[in-house]
Amino acid sequence: MKTLARIFRVVAKIAVATGFPAGQTPLTARLEEIKFAVSSGASEIDIVINRQFALSGNWKGNPLSIGCRLQACFFTD
């Protein structure tokens, strides 16, 4: 058990998926999820793009959303 605990101290990583599973959560809610996760020590943020944008070929909607989420990762209060 001591070896296992030592391994987890080294490789443990927090990952958070925002907007899972379909990316239908309002952007403001996803940004708050990211800010909370980062302030809680998350070292990785996994995001879900808006499924409806992807299915309809609206690829212009996703970059704005992704850009906002990147900003939330680096500029938290």
- The amino acid that residue 63 corresponds to is P
pLDDT of res. 2: 61
Residue 44, domain extent:
12-74
pLDDT of res. 6: 63
Q: Give a yes or no: residue 2 inside a domain.
A: no
pLDDT of res. 32: 86
Q: What is the pTM of this model?
A: 0.64
Cβ(27)–Cβ(42) under 8 Å? no
Q: Give a yes or no: residue 49 inside a domain.
A: yes
The tally of domains found in the chain comes to 1
pLDDT tens digits, one per residue of 11-69: 555 666 777 877 788 888 888 888 888 888 777 788 888 788 888 888 777 766 777 77
Average pLDDT of the segment spanning 8-12: 56
Using the structure block, give the residue that is written with the tokens 């808006």. 50
Contacts of 45 (CB under 8 A, 6+ apart): 15, 16, 18, 34, 37, 38, 69, 73
Nearest alpha carbon to residue 22 among 32, 31, 14, 30: 30
Angle at 65 between CA 14 and CA 68, to 5 degrees: 70
pLDDT of res. 69: 75
Q: Give a yes or no: residue 1 inside a domain.
A: no
